Structure 1
Amino acid sequence: MATIVASMEYLVTEILLRLPVKSVLKFKCVSKQWFALISDPKFCHSHTLRLYRTSQLFPSALLLAPVDSSTCQIISLKSINASDSSKFRNVKVPMGTVIQSCNGLLLIERISSEDFSEVDYFISNPTTNKSVPVIFPTQQFSSSVLSLFICFEPMKSLHYKLVSIRVKNYISFSDMSDIVIPTNIIDTEYVINVYSSETSSWSEPGFTFTCHGYKPPIRTNTVYFNGSLYWHNDGLRKFYYFDLDSQILKTCPTPLNMDDNGISKFCESGGHLYFVHKPVSEFMLYIMELKEESSEWALRFHLKLRESRFQLLLCFPYCVVKQENDEESMLLNCLNEKVLFYNLGDAKFRDLNTHCPFLVIESCSLVYQYHENLSCIAPTQKICKLQVLFCFHIFCCYAN
């Protein structure tokens, strides 16, 4: 009998692993056993591995995230040519602003004080409707954070990492009343700390670096790619990347035709790293791709912005999207609440022909790539400690 039951469980698991994400989630309601199976992190990871049959993670949709909202809109990339509205759907996230999307997990920022001095962060998987708060080691650590990033590669690990960039010798405003600030301020020191969900701990003391005459990396020009965080500094004409495994800051070559004062942006999609650049002196948009084997940038596409159809290109959120059929498209957000895809291969526009209220200019929507999968998110260390303390308290009560 035990052998038959084990065989049935194995068969159910194998069937569920081959079903689409939405179907698997519906089967959670069948029984407690199925709910436990589908909720198991190992099953979720196995399902994600089977979902992405290749080593590259292609986005299944685009996510439109209004500022300070608990609702985001998903636009399916698998039905771009369809005329129905089923490709548009809403998902719930913790109240706040989505500041990053990484292979199925979202990082959300919520301002929790009127003077913007206190910020809460959350990690969310809209597909499974699961979210957890980010817990920092101390209040001083939390207050000194300038930027926070989430790094997640489900093909390599079921665990995610967080990277914080903060002021090393942070002094709160309440502690500055008796401090005399010198006129010859030296370059500020910053420290990078990495949190691992596998060990539920932050790296200490972290990696310290100094920004000589420029600001540390911010969310808008930083992207996670192949185990490292990449960002660029226009003033110094340098590209930096922080290797999460070695926790060392490195530099890589910049494109030769990069303008110091141009508009630039990193984009990652389907295992490719792109650098989008518009020089100030030209009405051209260059899209370059990093060749990992040579660490050099190769020009992939260039667009003439003098053409009327490209006039709004850089005025609204956009991103370069790599699809499984090897097509690369650029997303355009337009004033008439529509979504346009421009195919960089055949130089053609595609209108989704569906009303999209999240694209009105007043909403200030942000655009991210979205990966639909069952990836699990675990509580951070302090939550685990609270659970241990609670169990210890219950034990003491029964012992007495």
Structure 2
Amino acid sequence: MEEDKEESSKKKLRQDDPPVTAASLFTDDLILEVLSRLPARSVCRFKCVSTPWRDLIADPVNRKKLPQTLAGFLYTTCGRSSPWDISHHFASVSGGAAPVDTSLPFLQPNKYKYIAHVDTCNGLLLCACFSKETPAADNDEFRYVVCNPATERWIELPPIPQAWATRIHNATRLAFDPKMSSHFHVLEFGQDVGSYVTGADIFSSQTGAWIRRDCGLVEKIQVFHGITSVFFGGMLHLVGRLNLNPTSTDEGSALLVVDMEGKAWKTIRLPNGFSNCAIGLSRGCLYYASTTRAHVRNNNNKKTNVRATDIALWCLENYDSKEWVLKHSASIDEPLGITGVRWRVFAIHPDCLTIFLVPWGGDVLASYNVQHQKFAHILNVGKDKIPIYLPYVPLFSEALAGADGP
């Protein structure tokens, strides 16, 4: 009788115990190993599994092992007293605090009096640093610096050889992929008097030196300012415009593509001609997004005073064939209720089909979710901004070969 009571008591205790799940049997190291192999978007979702998982993912030590998603955009505002009276800012896509100090105080503040944010790529930031309060054209007073704002490690690049300084430069881009190498490249594209790309000066952090390469393209192409590039498959992709036959009705927008040795150059035609556009790498594919303005028509097929924003999103599903596939198109009347403005795309989210837009001459930064076909207001950015927004994905690993800093 006593044995039956004891057995009954043990069963009751087992029933009252919390259920044992498969996840609870994993060690923290094993969980981190699994999470490190997942897309950044999935890692963010798994913060909601439990409090221990949230703390595990948010731990600063563990962040070095886990993929990160888009945190927001770096942008600059100008003061009214001087064109060089500038301030750097961060626009978070989630409404959180800036993950870095945008003034970059670790970049020898006593040496660099003026710092311009030039480009970003996979966690690294390319800056143009001047030793005087007012930037000058003298190359002796100017240096490119590549840094990782999350780890405060940085590298000052040597100047481009003076003998090369006769060519006009119109675009400088950063190329880096921590999955491929801890080394990076900086490409400064040169143009002729007709504004067509003639080649590039390329810096490799592996060799520590610049090389000059001519493009050798039959086509003439102009690289657009203020549109970010994409480093994909070991090739840098920039948006430009081809010089077509003047009688052609096609406006000839295209991607300029170059490898890191400057030996392979090509162009990839973009759909629907010249427009307010951006390119981006999302979920492993190259995407192209654009906006155009169109009049809304009433039931009698007459134009009204209200204008719509036409949005198109294309994917280069087969890179070798260079064929773009239209994934989404929509016409939206006066997005966010803002009237009389023309919207332009400036970025595409790397982990989901969301595009980011700003109105020309406006002070709003917004997003458009393709799946739900909805605009969302992110923040007001001020009217004295420099209209270049650099996407920033934090890189917490120490991967930056040859860097100075902590």
The answer to whether TM tops 0.5 is: yes
Question: Which residue of the partner structure matches residue 259 of structure 2?
Answer: 243
User: Of the candidates 201, 224, 234, which is equivalent to residue 230 of structure 2?
Assistant: 224
**Counterpart AA for 2:71:** S
- 1:345 is the counterpart of 2:361: no
Contact 1:117 1:143 in 2 (8 A): no
Q: 1:241 Cα shift?
A: 0.9
Question: 1:306 Cα shift?
Answer: 4.2
Cα displacement string for residues 184-218 of structure 1 (whole angstroms, at most 9, x for unaligned residues)? x9997823233221222333x52343676654x25
CA distance in 2, matches of 1:70, 1:379: 30
Q: Secondary structure at the match of 1:64?
A: strand
Task: Report deviation, 1:232.
Answer: 2.7
Q: Which letter maps to 1:133?
A: E
User: Secondary structure of the residue that 2:255 maps to in structure 1?
Assistant: strand
Which of 149, 170, 177 lines up with 2:173 in the alignment? 149
Judge conservation of contact 2:143–2:159 (CA < 8 Å) in 1: no
> Is 2:354 aligned against 1:328?
yes
Q: Secondary structure at the match of 1:346?
A: coil
Q: Distance in 2 between matches of 1:327 and 1:208?
A: 33
1:148·1:165 contact (CA, 8 Å) conserved in 2?
A: yes
Q: What is the Cα deviation at residue 154 of structure 1?
A: 0.6
Residue 291 in structure 1 maps to residue 328 in structure 2: no
Q: CA offset at residue 378 of structure 1?
A: 4.8
- Name whichever of 67-76 and 244-253 sits farther off: 67-76
Q: Tell me, yes or no, if structure 1 residue 276 matches structure 2 residue 289.
A: yes
Pick from 313, 319, 337 the counterpart of residue 347 of structure 2: 319
Per-residue CA shift, 1:61-115, capped at 9, x if unaligned? 33334465785433444x45xxxx5468743335422121100011123466666
Q: Which has the higher contact order (CA 8 A, sep 6+)?
A: 1
Determine helix, strand or coil for the equivalent of 1:164: strand
Matched residue, 1:176: none
Counterpart of 1:190 in structure 2: which amino acid?
T
Match of 2:127 among 93, 101, 108: 108
For 1:284 and 1:140, the matched residues in 2 are separated by 47
**SS at structure 1 position matched to 2:349:** strand
Q: Whose helix fraction is larger, Structure 1's or Structure 2's?
A: 1
* Structure 2 Cα separation of the partners of residues 192 and 96 of structure 1: 23
8 A Cα contact 1:327 1:345, kept in partner: yes
**Change in CA separation of 1:128 and 1:120 when aligned onto 2, cut-off 3 Å:** same
CA distance in 1, matches of 2:225, 2:59: 31
Alignment of 1:368-379 (within 5 A): 368-374=390-396, 375-378=398-401
5+ unaligned residues in a row in structure 2: which ranges? 1-28, 37-54, 79-83, 108-113, 245-251, 296-308
Report the TM-score when normalising by structure 1: 0.62
- The one-letter amino acid paired with 1:340 is A
For the 8 Å contact 1:120–1:133, the answer to whether it is kept is yes
Moved more, 285-294 or 138-147: 138-147
Deviation at 1:291, TM superposition (A): 1.4
Partners of 2:333 and 2:202 lie apart in 1 by: 44
Two-structure CA RMSD over aligned residues (Å)? 4.1
Give aligned pairs, total.
Answer: 310
- Counterpart for residue 162 of structure 1: 186
Asked whether the 8 Å contact 1:69–1:97 carries over to 2, the reply is no
- The alignment status of 1:23 with 2:31, answered yes or no, reads no
Contact 1:66 1:72 survives alignment (8 Å): yes
- Aligned-pair distance for 1:152? 0.4
- Mapped to 2, the partners of 1:134 and 1:341 lie a distance apart of 35
Shift of 1:250: 1.3
Classify 1:187/1:88 alpha carbon distance in 2 versus 1 (closer, same or farther; 3 Å): closer
Change in 2 beyond 3 A, CA 1:254/1:156? same
| 1:317/1:366 contact within 8 Å kept | no
Tell me the SS of whatever aligns to 1:140. helix
TM-score (norm 2): 0.61
The equivalent residue for 1:30 is none
Deviation at 1:361, TM superposition (A): 1.1
Distance 1:296 1:212 in 2: 19
Deviation, structure 1 residue 123: 1.2
* Pairing 1:96–2:115 present: yes
Cα deviation per residue 1:5-45 (whole Å; 9 max; x = unaligned)? xxxxxx9xx99x99668724xxxxxxxxxxxxxxxxxxxxx
Q: Give the structure with the higher percent strand.
A: 2
Task: State how far apart, in whole Å, the 1-side matches of 2:360 and 2:85 are.
Answer: 21
Q: Secondary structure of 2:128's match?
A: strand
Q: Does 1:132 align with 2:151?
A: no
Deviations 1:219-276 (A, max 9, x none): 4345123121223315432433112257310122432xx23x5333333345332222
**C-alpha contact 2:121 2:176 (8 A) present in aligned 1:** yes
Alignment of 1:256-267 (within 5 A): 258-259=272-273, 261-267=274-280
**Aligned twin of 2:90:** 74
Partner of residue 195 from structure 1, selected from 203, 217, 235: 203
1:149/1:378 CA distance change after superposition, 3 Å:
same
8 A contact 2:197–2:221 mirrored in 1: no
